[in-house]
């Protein structure tokens, strides 16, 4: 089991001072994550999503973190591939440069972005993006490997050119695909890509997603491979806040989750600038509020005759690693049993204070990760 931390740059207060503080704290958290023995740092890419995610230039953030660390892997989770957002030549150049300067620590995730708000910022219709995303994802690894590239596609035209530099990892960094639904995980597996499931899924839902992914990977056609080698790997979201005080950890985690859920509901449903905050309540009151919101969502879907799926309701799941170190271990063991290769630790939810994240990282380093490393060592001996 690998452990990583994922950054959205999410915040309640969107003033310049708060925005700057959020980035400074994220860097401090990333450096401490390496010190505490975590395996990776991931950064999302989102645009024009006030409060929900201000991480619009992950290449800059990750490069800065890479320069302050020595061991931890540096992950794009993910780069959005519409050409006007990120032209494939620029993606190949940036990823290769970061891979060189980090001495081969880059993980390279790809996706399209999730909202019309983002797509429209760059002049696109979200519903029309997938063909150009497909064209770009197959093209980028060729750019990173071949001495010269020439491409005359439906959406991307590149005259014959040498593109530099080439990555440190040979032939290129491992590739991943963002996948929140069963169908997108099936695509990731069928194309030989690692799957990244960011969200609030239960371990039981994770087990089903894992089954779908592994089956698609096992039955893939080599002709559909993206990149020069397959990467069978499933990284799953794990919202987590840990403290010796269970009630305090649950209160902080559930409040952060409610903020996250309201922000994602706003932007993924369309709408103007939000002003989201969540009052500080005891943990069980947060649970009650989440369940009420879930009931309202299910009622709406039923009335609209829209199927109620786990993808539509997972943000209302409150079964996460909020609690004591032993509570977190118990939850992560369920994710491990469900087939996860890596837990993408989600702590940086808008209302969660920096101190709670640092305390969680400390517990991960002092208790939680050593538990899994000891278990793995015993399994090897047996």
Quote the CA–CA distance of 190 and 225 in Å, as a whole number.
8
Delineate the domains of the chain, giving CATH numbers in brackets: 2-381 (3.20.20.30)
Unique residue bearing structure tokens 């990892």: 169
- Residues 253-276: tens digit of each pLDDT: 999 999 988 888 888 875 555 677
Residue 310 has what pLDDT?
A: 60
Quote the CA–CA distance of 174 and 194 in Å, as a whole number.
8
**Which of 198, 175, 195, 176 has the alpha carbon at shortest distance from 185?**
195
- Residues 142-178: tens digit of each pLDDT: 999 999 999 999 999 999 999 999 999 999 999 999 9
Mean pLDDT of the chain: 93
Residue 94 has what pLDDT?
A: 98
Residue 290 has what pLDDT?
A: 78
Quote the CA–CA distance of 166 and 146 in Å, as a whole number.
9
pTM of the complete model: 0.94
């Amino acid at each position: 089991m690998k452990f990583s931390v994922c950054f959205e740059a999410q915040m309640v207060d969107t003033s310049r001072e708060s925005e700057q503080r959020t980035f400074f704290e994220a860097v401090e958290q990333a450096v401490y994550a390496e010190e505490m023995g975590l395996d990776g740092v991931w950064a999302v890419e989102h645009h024009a999503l006030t409060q929900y995610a201000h991480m619009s230039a992950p290449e800059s953030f990750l490069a800065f973190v890479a320069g302050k660390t020595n061991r931890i892997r540096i992950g794009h989770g993910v780069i959005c591939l519409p050409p006007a957002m990120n032209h494939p030549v620029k993606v190949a150049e940036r990823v290769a440069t970061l891979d060189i300067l980090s001495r081969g620590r880059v993980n390279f995730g790809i996706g399209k972005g999730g909202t019309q708000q983002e797509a429209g910022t760059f002049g696109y219709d979200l519903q029309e993006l997938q063909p150009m995303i497909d064209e770009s994802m197959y093209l980028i690894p060729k750019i990173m490997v071949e001495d010269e590239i020439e491409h005359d596609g439906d959406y991307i035209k590149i005259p014959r050119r040498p593109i530099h530099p080439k990555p440190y990892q040979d032939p290129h960094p491992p590739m991943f695909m963002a996948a929140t639904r069963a169908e997108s995980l099936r695509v990731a597996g069928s194309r030989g890509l690692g799957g990244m499931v960011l969200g609030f899924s239960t371990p039981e839902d994770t087990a089903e997603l894992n089954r779908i992914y592994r089956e698609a990977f096992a039955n893939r056609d080599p002709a559909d491979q993206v990149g020069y080698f397959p990467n069978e790997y499933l990284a799953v979201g794990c919202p987590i806040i840990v403290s010796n005080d269970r009630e305090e950890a649950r209160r902080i985690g559930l409040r952060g989750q409610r903020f996250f859920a309201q922000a994602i509901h706003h932007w993924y449903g369309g709408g103007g600038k939000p002003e989201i905050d969540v009052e500080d309540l005891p943990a069980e009151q947060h649970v009650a509020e989440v369940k009420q919101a879930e009931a309202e969502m299910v009622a709406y879907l039923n009335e609209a005759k829209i199927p109620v799926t786990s993808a539509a309701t997972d943000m209302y799941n409150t079964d996460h690693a909020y609690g004591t170190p032993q509570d977190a271990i118990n939850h992560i063991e369920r994710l491990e049993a469900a087939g996860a290769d890596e837990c993408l630790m989600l702590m940086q939810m808008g209302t969660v204070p920096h101190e709670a994240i640092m305390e969680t990282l400390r517990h991960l380093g002092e208790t939680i990760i050593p538990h899994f490393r000891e278990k793995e060592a015993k399994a090897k001996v047996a």
